[in-house]
Structure 1
């Protein structure tokens, strides 16, 4: 199973489908084949492992399939993995995590009905960690929401004159771009579009666009200007004419978005916090003092310290002179996100 999890991590962290790995074992414990899911539209991990076994000349009849997620039981872009395993003559399936997707689950039941022995729950915690935001998004029926904040030590996102480039360091910005490359969508408010004219692209160390570009989502009813950088190279531009975070997430869920990064500004951040749909906060804090200027978070309607939004830090990283704090609302489950790590980080 540890090897299957290693294979699963090779799959993309973004996209509508989960990261899954599979290893086929013979009666003597020898590896007959292995595979992983490489993204939407490609063979699932079980089919990839069966293909690998066939190319090796391995006979998989009576084999054990070790897979990180319950084999699917539905026909989408590919056929049901549960039936493919049955038809291949696999005798036993060991899985880490049962599929939370009602459209795809049921593979274990189909396998058992066909006489295949099924064991579930091996290294389940590690399996959910590899699945990351996908698991929570599918379980809840809405995208996993990461709120990103980049601010001075006194909580400002810009100076009094509106200038904000750059509060945080190059190391923090590099890390943030790596995070963008892992999510399905980036959301900002229409006010941020007017004030900052962001491009909302994911760029590598050489400033070129990465292979995966997330959807660029503008929340609000004001049209994006014709000459805005959002209309330039990058991910698809999507405008959602609403100020209700629940409506925004429903629209993104309809587009099979599993992980959305809310980047700003203060008004949008406050709206998502008030709606209690923020699953994780990434706060990049720079050792800079401004004393005035807009705050990172807008009005939350909190009048007393007892009503404060309390977060629990789960990770703290050093990024050059800055600090990244990854936190979740109190009472939330242990985080399943895969934090982007760079060589400059120190815990």
Structure 2
């Protein structure tokens, strides 16, 4: 039974909105290393709204955000002051690799739990909230808050890849395409890119928050790309998925040997088999970095969720445009998104 729906709405106090911003920001720090779990943030406050603890889920197998927050509060000696919990995703009410987060919260004197998004799994959606309510706690949902739209949008963007995996059985797919002012994807002779340093940092930040890359043998042969995270600090010892569309025999052996030392490499000889191949992985969010042939195939299949185009214009600046097939996108959590024009069409990178 879905317990998220209520017959009334309520106002979200200003301090709760600020706490959600902190929770999302902390969870975003670990995006790209939590799969198959979603990134989740939790903030604990006292009765006066003072922040006691900010925590997030770091990686699968480790404590979820709520339990980590509670344990940190215990270590700090402030657990008895906990009055309100703010969580970006509904606390789980089942035992997996770790115990239920609902029990972690109920081990404290917490009175009110603000929940960003309901669990996207319809089989358990609302169960965590119902359990907390049955234990006498006041559970409040951003979806029913009269003034919580901005915080809810951030929480939904944070779990969009996870929700995609739950609903579609495949990861969220972001296509990244760089073009010069003439619409060509080919860099000038002697160069591997024609975009600005700021765009390059943004591209590597995007690699950091995703769980791997989809490319093609043609791109491998032409560019011999590294596909690793540079220009920004990566998650320690992160090993990602690398899906190569095409035949292994068409891949340079020395490049493949190097790639297999850093990635879990899968080959997909036929692009029509890509979706089921991806469904069998733990990845939540993948980045496509390839040439026009693979991009055309993905477009024909509708096998993408958002399409990021970096266009280097004649004025020497890069202008980024985003097409998305959804009403939310995890790309909106990047700072660059603040410059996006109406309908999330474009934002400039200087």
TM normalised by structure 2 equals: 0.76
Over aligned residue pairs, what C-alpha RMSD do you find? 3.1
Listed one character per residue, the Cα deviations across residues 4-53 of structure 1 (whole Å, up to 9, x for unaligned) are: 43133223121312222222233444444442222223211111221122
3-state secondary structure, aligned to 2:55:
strand
Pair 1:265 & 2:291 matched: yes
Give the deviation of 1:147 after TM superposition.
0.8
Does the Cα contact within 8 Å between 1:35 and 1:46 map onto a contact in 2? yes
Aligned residues of 1:36 and 1:44 also touching (Cα < 8 A): yes
* 8 Å CA contact retained: 1:5, 1:130: no
Distance 1:210 1:286 in 2: 32
- Describe the shift of the 1:213–1:164 C-alpha distance in structure 2 as closer, same or farther (beyond 3 A): farther
Q: 1:79 to 1:136 in 2, by over 3 A?
A: same
Structure 1 position 327, deviation (Å): 1.6
Deviations 1:300-339 (CA, angstroms, capped at 9, x unpaired): xxxxxxxxxxxxxxxxxxxx9242323215x631433233
2:344 paired residue number: none
Q: Deviations over 1:43-98 (max 9, x none)?
A: 11111221122123234488332212110122222111012222334333111111
Q: Does 1:120 align with 2:141?
A: yes
The separation in 2 between residues aligned to 1:91 and 1:109, in whole angstroms, is: 14
Residue 327 (str. 1) matches residue 322 (str. 2): yes
Q: Is the 8 A contact 2:55 2:65 kept in 1?
A: yes
* 1:46 matched residue in structure 2: 66
**Count of matched residue positions in the alignment of Structure 1 and Structure 2:** 308
1:182 aligns with 2:209: yes
Q: Which residue of 298, 305, 310 corresponds with 1:279?
A: 305
Structure 2 equivalent of residue 87 of structure 1: 107
Q: Gapped runs of 5+ residues in structure 2?
A: 1-15, 143-147, 338-347
Gap runs ≥5 in structure 1: 289-319
Which position in structure 1 is the counterpart of 2:31? 13
Secondary structure, in 3 states, of the residue corresponding to 1:88?
Answer: coil
**Equivalent residue for 1:100, pick from 101, 120, 123:** 120
Deviations 1:253-298 (A, max 9, x none): 322211111111211101111111221112122247xxxxxxxxxx
Whether the 8 Å CA contact 1:63–1:91 is kept in 2: the answer is yes
Conservation of the 8 A alpha-carbon contact between 1:184 and 1:259: yes
8 Å contact from structure 2 (residues 160, 328) kept in 1: no
Counterparts of residues 52-201 of structure 1 (less than 5 Å) = 52-60=72-80, 63-102=83-122, 105=125, 106-121=127-142, 122=148, 123-131=151-159, 133-158=161-186, 165-171=191-197, 172-201=199-228
What secondary structure sits across from 2:262 in the alignment? coil
**Partners of 1:199 and 1:328 in 2: CA distance:** 26
8 Å contact from structure 1 (residues 189, 268) kept in 2: yes
- Could you tell me whether the CA contact under 8 Å between 2:173 and 2:286 is conserved in 1? yes
- Equivalent of 1:238 in 266, 276, 287: 266
Distance 2:335 2:253 in 1: 34
Cα 1:47–1:230, aligned 2, differ >3 Å: closer, same or farther?
same
Distance 2:48 2:186 in 1: 63
The equivalent position to 1:252 in structure 2, one of 278, 293, 296, is: 278
Say which structure is richer in helix: 2
Distance change >3 Å, CA 14–CA 209, structure 1 → 2: closer
Quick one: distance in 2 between partners of 1:209 and 1:91? Answer: 35
Q: 1:20 to 1:73 in 2, by over 3 A?
A: same
What CA deviation, in whole Å up to 9, does each residue of 1:190-225 have, x standing for no partner? 22223332222222269x998545322101234333
Q: What TM-score comes out, normalization by structure 1 length?
A: 0.77
Could you tell which deviates more after superposition, 105-114 or 46-55? 105-114
Displacement of 1:148 in angstroms is 1.1
